Amino acid sequence: MPRIQQIVSACSLVLWLVATGFGASQPAPAMDGNSLVRVSAIAEYQAIRAGESVSIAVRFQIEDGWHTYWKNPGDTGAEMRIVYDGPEWASLGEIHWPAPKRYVSPGDLLDFVHEGTVILLTDLTVDAEAWEAAGKPETLAFDLNCEWFVCKEICLLGEGSVSLELPVTTETAYKNRDALQAFSEARRAIPRPWEDVPEQMYRAKFESGVLTLSVPSATRMTYFPAPSKELALPVDALTEAEAKGDTLRIRYRDEASTVDFLEGVLVFERGQPGAGNHSTHAIEVRVPLRDDASDPPRE
C-alpha cells in the first residue's frame, strides 16, 4: 500500500509540535477526504526507555458536520486506523478509544461515530533485546500512518501521516510538559477499563439471549457493543441499546452462545441535563457468559 511520507509542517498544529517528542502532519493534497481530518500526535514522555512503553496520543480534528468511525463502526462505515511504520525493535499496542456517539441514518441504520476532535491513545514499546541487537540506536524515528473514512451526505476516504522522533534511553525519561493537556483530555474521554470499574457501579446479567445492564440511579444509559468477529452482537441496538432510566435490556444474536464474554462500552448519566447534579460516565463492561456468573469478575 503506497504511503506518503510527509514533511512536518506548522499551521494550526503548532501547539503539538513544540519541544520534545512531537510531530504532526498535513494531509496529502491529492487524496479525497484528507483535508476533512487533520491528524497530529504527541508522546507523553520526552524519551522512551528501552524495554518500556510510552503512551502516544493521536489527535484527529474532524471538519464540522462530518464524522469518522469508532472501533465498531456500527451498521456502516469503517474504523479509523493507525499503522506504525518504523524500526522493527519498536511496536504499537492496542488503541484506546473514547466512547463514540450514535448516528442514525434513513433506513434505520445505526453507526457509532466520532465528531469534532477525537484523541486515540496507544502505547509504543521498545523491545530491549531487539534494540540492543540493532546496535542501540539513540533515536526512534517513526511514522504513524493514519487512515479514516469520513462521511456527511457522502463518504470519503482520507489519510495522513505523522512523523515522530524520540530519544531512546536507559536512563529516566521525563514527562513531556507540552503533552500534559492532551493526555489529560484524552484520558477523561476514554471509558474506565472494566478491570477498574467498582463492582457496585453496575449490574450485568445475560439470560435467554438478553443482556440486562442496570446502573443504580442512572437517568439515561447508552450501550456500544465492542466489535465481535463471531457476530455476537445486539439484534436491535437502535431501539434497545439506549434508554432513559437505570436499565437496558438488549437482545443478542444467537452467536452470543459461542463466545465467552460480551464486551462493550456503557455510557450513563445521573441527574438531569442542565441541573447542578448532572454527570456523565463511561465504563467498559465485560460480561462473562457462564451459568454461574451473573456479574463480571471485578476488583
Partner 1 sequence: MKKRTKLGFTGLLVAGIAALGATATGVAVAAQSSDAKAKVGEKAPDFTLPALKGDEKHTLSDYTKDGKIVVLEWFAPDCPYVVKHYQNTEKSTVNNLVKEFKDKDVVFLAMNSAHSGHPYGSKDRNLERVEEWKINHPMLVDADGSVGKAYGARTTPHMYIIDTDGILRYAGGLDNDSSARGIGDVNYVRQALNEILAGETVTVSETRPYGCSVKYAK
Question: Of these, 7, 10, 29, 94, which contacts partner 1 (CB under 8 A)?
Answer: 94
Question: Of these, 12, 15, 51, 105, which contacts partner 1 (CB under 8 A)?
Answer: 105
Question: Of these, 21, 98, 234, 264, which contacts partner 1 (CB under 8 A)?
Answer: 234
Stretch that binds partner 1, among 47-55, 83-91, 174-182, 199-207 (CB under 8 A): 83-91
Task: Give, for 226, the enclosing helix (H) or strand (E).
Answer: none
x/- letters, 238..267, toward partner 1 (CB under 8 A): xx-x-----------x-x------------
Question: Of these, 45, 60, 66, 149, which contacts partner 1 (CB under 8 A)?
Answer: 149
Reported as half-sphere exposure (CB side, CA atoms, 13 A), residue 279 has a value of: 6
Contact call for residues 60 and 68 (beta carbons, < 8 A)? yes
CB atoms within 10 A of CB 49: 16
95 scored as a contact of partner 1 (CB under 8 A): yes
Least Å distance between CB 290 and partner 1? 22
Least Å distance between CB 184 and partner 1? 23
**C-alpha to C-alpha distance for 299 and 285, rounded to whole angstroms:** 13
- Between 113 and 182, CB nearer to partner 1: 113
Q: How far apart are the first and last CA of the chain?
A: 44
CB atoms within 10 A of CB 5: 11
Least Å distance between CB 69 and partner 1? 9
Q: Which is it for strands 48-49 and 155-169: parallel, antiparallel or unpaired?
A: parallel
151 scored as a contact of partner 1 (CB under 8 A): yes
- Between 74 and 296, CB nearer to partner 1: 74
Q: Cα 142 vs. chain centroid, distance in angstroms?
A: 21
- Between 120 and 178, CB nearer to partner 1: 120
Stretch that binds partner 1, among 144-152, 177-185, 207-215, 265-273 (CB under 8 A): 144-152
Q: Which three cell numbers stand for residue 59?
A: 489527535
CB atoms within 10 A of CB 280: 13
Cα→Cα distances 271→87, 218, 243, 266, Å: 50, 7, 14, 17
- Between 101 and 203, CB nearer to partner 1: 101
CB atoms within 10 A of CB 277: 8
**C-alpha to C-alpha distance for 186 and 119, rounded to whole angstroms:** 6
72 scored as a contact of partner 1 (CB under 8 A): yes
Residues forming the site for partner 1 (CB under 8 A): 1, 3, 32-33, 71-79, 81-88, 90-95, 104-112, 122, 145, 147, 149, 151, 153-157, 159, 225-231, 233-239, 241, 253, 255
